[in-house]
Structure 1
Amino acid sequence: MSAVVFSEMQAALAGDFRVLAPDLRGHGGSSPGSGYALTDFAADLDAWLTALDLDTIDLLGWSLGGEVAQLLAAQYPQRVTRLALISSTPRFASTHDWEHGLPDVQIKAMARDLRRNYELTMNGFFSLQFTDEALERERYRQIVAFAVRAGRLPLPEVALAALETLRSEDLRPLLPQLVQPTLVLHGGRDRIIPVAAGRYLGTTLPAARYIEWPDVGHAPFMSRPQDSVTLWREFFA
């Protein structure tokens, strides 16, 4: 998804911070690359920060962006002063020793649906950001429609490659290296990344503060925008 989903938050925080919201390669306004591993995304961000002459940053990542943020903070610790992980996980797919992810059969079904009807599947995927009750309200229907229309969806091959990255990557071995002060926020009704994954980050990361909003899904900053602005303003102050 494009960084356009952060536009409301970016505007609200602009008076207090310099807020930059990049598009990952192949997403939004960024050009497609030749690889979509987490290391590719992290290297892109490191190069982007160098081009902007930014030595250190406070870093916030949501969903896939949260995994990229974890890797960037581990590989380039001198870059990241504080870290916020929103609806994130160290491993997206479940395995025999990780129960807090999506089953492989569900991920493969998602890939199949992307190949069959890309736009419909992406629309449905974005609807999963919210609870069913929230989707019944007009505000959330408008958010979903706006994100699909204005979010400049990635090409199907990019989405499939990113999904395969999520399926295969495992960041658990890196977590002890993330010594930065970290805010972990997760929705108790997240239908994409189980809340247990957020709780795991909260208890495993060396300097984490865990917050759970029981009434929201995968996009807490859209479901509770003002609370999110307040939380981030306090954490990054």
Structure 2
Amino acid sequence: MRLNTQIQGQGFPIICLHGHPGSSQCMSVFTHHLSQQYLTLAPDLRGYGKSYTRQRFEMKEHLQDLETFFKEFNIDECLILGWSLGGILALELALKFPEKVKGLILIASAARPRGNHPPISIFDYVYTGLAGLINWIFPSWRWNIETLGKRSLFRYLIQQHTKITYHYLAQDAVPAFLQTSGFATDALNQALRLGYNRLENLSQIHCPCLVLAGECDRHITAISSQETSDNLPNSQFYYYSNTAHLFPWEIPQTVLNDIDYWLTQHPEIFQSN
């Protein structure tokens, strides 16, 4: 399948893979910044964003699509930045194409993902729907944040209920949620039921890796992210207190500064074989 792709900048390619629910637009927090020095390519995965599908599919087909994506854009070498599900796909691509993947940045992701999300009530869904809709119409409205946002499921996705975080929720999260197909959700749920675990294969990935995690992440715990970093031969782990699964939207400048610094410490990523 040909994936709808947002392309910015020029230079060494950085492929930015979104999570679930998500889209290429959700990666703008990274691409707007990184495209000032690099070529960023952010595809909508199958069943997400504008990569429409009317057929059921399995998670493995994301990898088939991305292999076609590599060929379409003549990607010989790249760095892959993956958020949540995108990080899992990034690991799979690094295992399959070690000669192409020169570096990995894993955001709120893990090779053996584990969560500790509490049970969800009907009131959680009601508050989330209302908070999301109102925030979409009136982004970052303080009344909505205090009255509905902090009672909704947003409280498990973020810890810092700031205007900038709710701006990203309105601009990127709500449209991505609406554009995520049921087929994409079914494919992910099927994979989770099977129990994804690639820890024993991580020793095969020798490129520089940066693993970033939020302290209060309920969807993919910081402990499982650190476990991934500990099993990668050439990895650095950063941990952000008082943040959750959407921490790049909570503390965007801090995260981008840390990525920039890490990139300067690994010039070998950009040296051709």
Q: Place the TM-score, normalised by the shorter chain, in its bin.
A: 0.7 to 0.9
Pairing of 1:1-237 with structure 2 (within 5 A): 1-32=22-53, 34-37=56-59, 39-92=60-113, 101-102=114-115, 120=129, 128-131=156-159, 134-135=160-161, 137-151=162-176, 152-168=178-194, 169-237=196-264
Report 1 or 2 for greater relative contact order, CA contacts < 8 Å, sequence distance ≥ 6: 1
- Answer whether contact 1:130 1:217 (CA < 8 A) is retained: yes
- Whole-angstrom CA distance in 2 between matches of 1:25 and 1:125: 26
Structure 1: stretches of 5+ with no match in the other structure: 93-100
Q: Is the 8 A contact 1:60 1:83 kept in 2?
A: yes
CA pair 142-15 structure 1, distance change in 2 beyond 3 A? closer
RMSD: 2.7
Identity %: 24
Q: 1:216 to 1:234 in 2, by over 3 A?
A: same
Give yes or no for contact 1:90–1:170 (8 Å, CA) kept in 2. yes
Which residue does 1:98 correspond to in 2?
none
Structure 1 residues 171-222: Cα deviation after superposition (integer angstroms, max 9, x where no partner): 2232111111100111111121111101101211111111111221112221
CA distance in 2, matches of 1:12, 1:196: 28
Q: Which residue number corresponds to residue 97 of structure 1?
A: none
Q: What secondary structure, in the 3-state scheme, does the structure 2 residue paired with 1:128 have? A: helix
Unaligned runs of 5+ in 2: 1-21, 133-151, 265-273
> CA separation of 1:24/1:125 partners in 2, compared to 1, >3 Å: closer, same or farther?
farther
8 Å contact 2:29–2:248 — kept in the other structure?
A: no
